[in-house]
Amino acid sequence: EPEVTQTPSHQVTQMGQEVILRCVPISNHLYFYWYRQILGQKVEFLVSFYNNEISEKSEIFDDQFSVERPDGSNFTLKIRSTKLEDSAMYFCASSLQGFREKLFFGSGTQLSVL
Amino acid sequence: GESVGLHLPTLSVQEGDNSIINCAYSNSASDYFIWYKQESGKGPQFIIDIRSNMDKRQGQRVTVLLNKTVKHLSLQIAATQPGDSAVYFCAENIGDDKIIFGKGTRLHILP
């Protein structure tokens, strides 16, 4: 079964450093998402992306965050200057035809900001 | 305030019994609902969904019930198995470009 893949599985960085989290969505999917989950808490929406532009973003997704689909297969989340509170599991997801259908999630990247 | 939430954070069920996990939502505009299962160290996995024009939908061993009058959603798992141990999230779309998740219920299966 096709799946969403994320790399790396773990990322450790120093506060203030830039990180890029990478995702390869399912190949024929058109809608892409980033979510994050702080340990033991709920899954929080960050951003949705369609047709090479952001469709919606949450208040968490401030100017320090950006997304890109650089080459038609990858979907990246960049955090420009990481803060301690950015430590979380970051999940990429994709869906085939719209925002009102099931999302397929990757296994996540655990980001630890020291 | 939160649009999607859950009544119980933890549910313990005897193996073989049926499980019922509940979820309340507050936004009347919500028109699409999903249940996800999250096992330890993994991403959320789709279980079943339902649109607001339906009251009930069945899958393999799972049933989702939607009561729009009281804004309540439930997931029923028949003949609960050890592999059903996980955190279960309800999620919703309110007609915009995102799915938002509730807090989650941890399901423990007792032997």
Q: Do A102 and B34 touch (CB under 8 A)?
A: yes
> Which one of A48, A55, A106 has the shortest CB-CB distance to B43?
A106
Residue B2, pLDDT > 80, answer no
Angle at A4 between CA A77 and CA A49, to 5 degrees: 45
The pLDDT value given to residue B63: 98
Give pLDDT tens digits for B66-85. 999 999 999 999 999 999 99
CA distance B5 to chain A (A): 10
Over residues A31-41, the mean pLDDT reads 92
Residues of A in contact with B31 (CB under 8 A): 100
Which of A42, A51, A67, A105 to probe by mutation at the B interface, max B CB count within 10 Å?
A: A42
Q: Kindly provide the b/e burial profile for residues B102-111, where b requires at least 16 CB atoms within 10 angstroms of the residue's own CB.
A: bbbbbbebee
With H, G, I as helix, E, B as strand and everything else as coil, classify residue B82.
helix
Residues of A in contact with B32 (CB under 8 A): 100-101
The pLDDT value given to residue B4: 58
Percent of chain A topping pLDDT 90: 87
Give pLDDT tens digits for A13-32. 999 999 999 999 999 999 99
